[in-house]
Structure formats: C-alpha cells, structure tokens
A and B are shown apart, each in its own frame.
Chain A
Amino acid sequence: MRLEKCWFCSSTVYPGHGIQFVRNDAKIFRFCRSKCHKNFKMKRNPRKVKWTKAYRRLRGKDMTQDSTFEFERKRNRPERYDRNLAENTLKAIKKIDKVRVEREARHHKNRMKGKSAKERNEAIKEIDQSTILVKAPSALQPEPSLVKVSQLQLDKNVAMEE
C-alpha cells in the first residue's frame, strides 16, 4: 500500500480513491478526485490555479524548504518488517506532523506581520480623503449662522455695558 500525491493539487491519494491516467510515453498522472482530473483535461497548469499546493509554494504562501519534508521522501527499497521499527515510525510520524504544523503556522504569522498596522494606515487615509463622498465640503465648515448669533450676543453685551 502506498500513499500517492495528486499530480494537480498535491494532496495525498489514499488507496481506493482517485484515477490514474497513463500517458503513452509511460508517464503516470494520479488524481485525488474528479475536480483535479477535469482540470487536467482542460489543460490547466497547476502552477496557475490558485487553490493548488504548486501555486502556493511558487508564490511563497506555503513553506517550501524545511527539514520535516525530508522525512516524506519517496523510498523505493522495501524495509524488512521489524516491529520496533514500525512502532517507532508511527510515533515519529505523529511528532513530525505536529512540528510541521507549528512551523507552517509560524510561517503564516511571519507572512501576515504588519498587516494590522497597514490596515490602520489605510483606514486613516480613507477617512482623510474620502469623507467628501459622505458629506459635502461646505457642511464640514462651521455654520455661519452660529457664528452670527455669538457675534450678535457679543455686540449686545458691549452695547448693554455701554
């Protein structure tokens, strides 16, 4: 039993799933589901299709180089069955998975750094420049009638005092 990778989206193909297409030059394409298979038939390049791992790795949205990936390399030599080895491998798989998830989370956080500051700056700029869309510029100035009343009051006071 072997867990393969989907040629299009790079997810794991478990046994019993998917379609395997053999081209006449003997290159084998494995697909995890018909979505990937149909995209392949449409001749789409996975490096240009946004939801695939190939695109994400190309654009640096996901980790590309890490030591945890070394453990998953394809090995063609079958190992002699050893109970201890199998047990240790199973434990190691769980641990490596956890480490990989943590590292990916860190990579994502690094990528998103500075986003809140950027958003605040953009919001401030928007308020400065685009308030015109909400209110007319004349409405932003203090009302002339208000000024007049206070002036009148002042004049009145001055007149009363005199």
Chain B
Amino acid sequence: MAAGLASKCSRVGRSLLGGFGNNLSGLSSASHEMASSTFLFQQRTFIQMRTVLKVVDNSGAKKVMCIQALKANKKGARLGDTIVASVKEAHPNGKVKKGKVVYGVVVRAAMQRGRCDGSEVKFDDNAVVLVDKQGQPIGTRVFGPVPHELRKKKHVKILSLAEHIA
C-alpha cells in the first residue's frame, strides 16, 4: 500500500514535469488535468515530449525522457508505440550511457488502451523497453507484465523475454 502511494506521488511529479515543458505542442490537456482533478485521480494522457519513462530491461538505463513519439498521432504515443528517447539516468556500467539517444517500445502505459473485444487495459506506470532501429531489444531480460498488443506490432522478441503477459 505504501509503495503504491509512493509511486502515485512520483507519478504526480512526473506529470507536473510533463505539463511544464509542454508549451510547444499546444496541448491544453496537461494543464486541464491539473485544474480539473479534484481527487487524487489523474486523467491519464499520452506519452509525449518530456515524458519520463521507466526502463524495464537490463540494458543499463534506468530512466529515459521521451523526445519524439514516432509515427503516432499528433497527440503522442500510447501502449505499444515506439518512441525516441534520451537516457537521463543509467546504471554505472551498462550498455547505454547517460545522454544517449535511443529508441524504445512502450510496454506499460498508465493511459488505458482499447482492446479489440471492447474492453480497456491500463497499467500502473509508464515503462519502456529499449530497442535498436530495427526493433530488436538491446537488453536480454524484461521485467514486469507486458500487454499482448505487442504481438500485433511485431515485437515478438520482447514478448518472448517477458515474465508475464497481461
């Protein structure tokens, strides 16, 4: 319970960061969410520029900040999309170093994604797996649950490394 609360607080902090540097994209959704949230519930939005995501493989990075949501709609990336990101925090001796620009696949998103049977899925946090230009993962392990939306997007390798498919 305490861990959940702590992750919720960090989420609030992250979204504030996202709202701050968001002048360019002209999205009022970020500021809207801060004004309209009366409870602790946030309105989950897309993964866009300046969104900090957790890295859930063993490639060496810990946190990345999204630079660009590739080929997605104007608003941002969702579950299963690829993004271009900059490594902000890394393990001391890993394959990727701080400041490197990498590609990533979003494996967990706090924003719900509609499934083809009509239901919706959402996860607890925003997480990404680093990949190279061809889509092959850089790391060798993936932690936490991953959605099976990745199968449609042809990220089969990530699915095979995952420990739980939601």
- Residues of A in contact with B (beta carbons under 8 Å apart): 1, 13, 15-24, 26, 28, 38, 41-43
Contacts and interface: CB of A to CB of B under 8 A. Distances in A.
A125 B129 CA distance: 73
Given A17-B118, A18-B119, A26 B41 contact: no
A24 B1 contact: no
B122 interface: yes
Contacts of A18: 119-120
Contacts of A28: 166
B40 A23 contact: no
6 contacts: A19-B112, A19-B119, A19-B120, A20-B121, A21-B121, A43-B1
B interface, by DSSP: helix, strand, loop or mixed? loop
Contact of B125 (A13, A16, A24): A24
B1 A20 contact: no
B40 A15 contact: no
Contacts of A24: 108, 123-125, 144-145
Contact of B122 (A1, A16, A20, A43): A20
Interface of B: 1, 39-41, 108, 112, 117-125, 144-145, 147, 163-164, 166
Contact of B124 (A15, A19, A23): A23
A20 B119 CA distance: 7
Contacts of A22: 108, 121-124, 145, 147, 166
Contacts of B39: 41-42
Contacts, number: 54
B117 A15 contact: yes
Contacts of A17: 118-119
Contacts of B122: 19-22
Given A22-B145, A26-B145, A38-B41, A16 B123 contact: no
Contacts of B147: 22
B41 A16 contact: no
A41 B145 contact: no
Contacts of A1: 117
Nearest to A21: B122
Contacts of B123: 21-24
A16 B124 contact: no
Contacts of A20: 119-122, 166
A55 to B, nearest CB: 20
A28 B120 CA distance: 12
